[in-house]
A and B are shown apart, each in its own frame.
Chain A
Amino acid sequence: MAKVELSKIMKKYDGADDYTIFETDLVIKDKEFMILVGPSGCGKSTTLRMIAGLEEITSGEIKIGSRVVNDVPPKERDIAMVFQNYALYPHMNVYDNMSFGLKLRKYSKTEIEKRVIDAAKILGIEDLLGRKPKELSGGQRQRVALGRAIVRHPHVFLMDEPLSNLDAKLRVHMRAEIIKLHQRLETTMIYVTHDQVEAMTMGDRIAIFNLGVIQQVGNPQEIYKYPANIFVAGFIGSPAMNFFKGKLIKEDKKIKFSGESIEFILTSEQGEKLSSYDKPEITIGIRPENMFLEDFSKVPSTSDNTIKAVVDVIEPMGNEYFLCMKIEDKSFTIRVDGDAKPELNELINLIISRDTVRFFDSETENLII
């Protein structure tokens, strides 16, 4: 069993005023692929390094399996780590790099050879075993770094932004390789990234960090559809979710959202759930793909869900367009079909898929529905 449990973890660096990590609780299940994602400085790498034992924790408890590892040195935690800059030993060839940890642990020569060859086969680097790191491309180095982790057969794999130094094409390729690797090895993996696409595509679950606090933990779909707060909603998804501030107005039996240049009637279900909301302001979030051009709408157009906006900027992506729209001073982005023929400065009708609109408390920024 290699469940990893963080309980009330706190981290404060010497001389710092604030905590880098504040009261973090996280349970990573056995064999789970957990992604820690967030913007720079949010504490995700620090959390990973604390799990690895490379950073001391100020307070709290870290458990790997059933063992509390707070005071256990990194080499005794039965973990392997892949670093952002690969951290290959430049004076050793690929074989020696991969076998270094095993030699230190006094494995037999035949066992070491077997493990290195097996890992090299999995990663397709059998031909590179005699080369030094400087003779390898970025992708090959990354494979060697993965290989060095694999041969150890650790209980937990830790990966600290392992793909961020690769070019876009190679990154997509290696992303798939790591997913396959996880399926094949069936080991607990904790993967740190700032790239939300990596987070969404790779992980069984995602933990989103901001300012040293976990904002939400969940599977990618859940987080995308029901972000816990405005930060998560804005961080996950590209282009980002559009936010509009406004207020709820009761009209007959219906509730209307009236905000920054946008008005629409809430669905009856939304109305019911928000009937008790009595704060003066509310924030709504609409994903760019949930506002349609009339001809391409997936929901019927009615007076309750249609607004008018001007096309301000057109960004053709080939299969689709990103349109920056404007209503008075308020700008927002929508994502429309590649067959659409948007015209610059054209005033068009937009149909809102009201079921997908998320409502946030403007004060706490937390999701209401």
Chain B
Amino acid sequence: MKRFLKYLLAYALLCVGAFIVLYPLIWMIFEAFKEEKYALSIAILPNHFTLESLKDFYTFSNFSKIVNEFNFGKYFLNSFIVALTSSIMTVLICTMGGYAFAKKNFVGKNFLFNTFLATVMIPGMMFMVPQFAIINKLGWINTYKAMIIPHLANVFGLFLMRQYIHQIPDALFESANIDGASEYQIFKKIVIPLTMPVVATLFLLTFLGQWSNFLWQLIVNTPDSPYLTIPVGLALFKGQHSTQWTLLMAASCFSVLPIAFLFILAQRFFIEGMTQGAVKG
């Protein structure tokens, strides 16, 4: 009985916690379907519950409006291209770099790695002006390149991959070497599959970061740029005097879809220990 009560209490607390976490998301979804006049009202159902009042309270028009009137599809595509390209390239570069720093010996390895690591301590904002100056000089304003390339040097990703690859036994790489694998084959057939859990994590974090990156993408695009992304596009719903909340929430609903999809897809990698069974244990 005591054990049952303990469980009951634990689950009650978890439910409260889950509700607190999920409430903004739930609110966003309900708000996205509301008519403009009911925006920001606490109610999630009309006062007098009839089919007519329900039709008056909720609408699908917010979604069609953001697609048709606000060119949201284009923002979505731009965000997707920027986030996907950045994530793939970041993962590739960090995995290669991480492998080299973890398993290869070269002159100045530790010094170089520590120098990279030290740059994490400098606030990102400090880089913004010089990076913008470089992008401007290169003539990359209003291009995908401007949004993607400056973020590929991801020291956190490099550190993450290096630490993960470091704990893979050397014997696996030596064994592959004796088996006849070239460096490229070792990377493709051993390193990548064995680092999948952390590759998925880094991919997801980079995708999330780029998908929601607002400031950098705002400053490297002019308002008439054809490469505006969702965060910049969402800002358009915020006027100087008023905000179109229902449209903003409908657009936000769209914008969380890829992230939610990616989380569902990648979550098994977070819990699966890929190196289990590699060596004695």
Contact = CB atoms under 8 A, between A and B. Distances in A.
Interface string A36-69: 0000000000000000111000000000000000
Contacts of B189: 100
Given A75-B179, A104-B179, A90 B276 contact: yes
A165 B279 CA distance: 10
A138 B279 CA distance: 9
B77 interface: no
A138 B278 CA distance: 11
Contact of A74 (B177, B274, B278): B177
Contacts of B278: 86-90, 133
B181 A85 contact: no
Interface string A89-116: 1110000000011001100000000000
Contacts of B178: 52-54, 74-75, 79-81, 101
A141 B279 CA distance: 9
Chief secondary structure at chain B's binding surface: helix
Interface in A118-148: 132-136, 138, 141, 148
A104 B181 contact: yes
B277 A132 contact: yes
Contacts of B171: 83-87
A104 B183 CA distance: 12
B278 to A, nearest CB: 4
A85 B194 contact: no
Interface string B156-194: 000000000000010110111111110001000110011
Contacts of A134: 276-277
A269 B136 CA distance: 97
Nearest to B169: A85
Nearest to A14: B105
A91 B169 contact: no
A75 B181 CA distance: 8
A75 B196 CA distance: 26
B256 to A, nearest CB: 32
Contacts of A89: 172, 175-176, 190, 278
Among B169, B175, B274, B277, residue most surrounded by chain A Cβ atoms (within 10 Å): B175
A132 B279 CA distance: 12
A73 B179 CA distance: 11
Given A87-B175, A90-B194, A75 B280 contact: no
A90 B275 contact: yes
Contacts of A152: 179
Given A83-B174, A86-B280, A91 B274 contact: yes
Interface in B261-281: 274-280
B4 to A, nearest CB: 36
A101 B180 contact: yes
Nearest to A79: B178
Contact of A83 (B175, B193, B275): B175
A101 B280 contact: no
Nearest to A76: B180
Contacts of B179: 75, 100-101, 104, 148, 152
A145 to B, nearest CB: 9
Interface string B184-215: 01000110011010000000000000000000
Contacts of A141: 277, 280
A187 B20 CA distance: 68
B177 A135 contact: no
B187 to A, nearest CB: 13
Nearest to B192: A91
A80 to B, nearest CB: 7
B94 to A, nearest CB: 20
A105 B172 contact: no
Nearest to A154: B178
Contacts of B193: 91
Given A75-B178, A101-B180, A104-B180, A87 B279 contact: yes
Nearest to A131: B277
Nearest to A166: B280
A152 B189 CA distance: 19
B180 A105 contact: yes
Enumerate the 10 nearest inter-chain pairs by beta-carbon distance, A residue then B residue, closest first: A134-B277, A101-B179, A87-B171, A85-B279, A90-B278, A133-B277, A87-B175, A75-B180, A104-B180, A165-B280
Given A83-B174, A86-B280, A165-B280, 7 more contacts: A74-B177, A74-B178, A85-B280, A88-B278, A100-B181, A133-B278, A138-B280
24 contacts: A52-B178, A74-B174, A75-B180, A81-B175, A85-B280, A86-B278, A87-B174, A87-B279, A88-B277, A90-B194, A90-B274, A90-B275, A90-B277, A91-B194, A91-B196, A100-B189, A101-B178, A105-B180, A132-B277, A133-B277, A134-B276, A134-B277, A148-B179, A165-B280
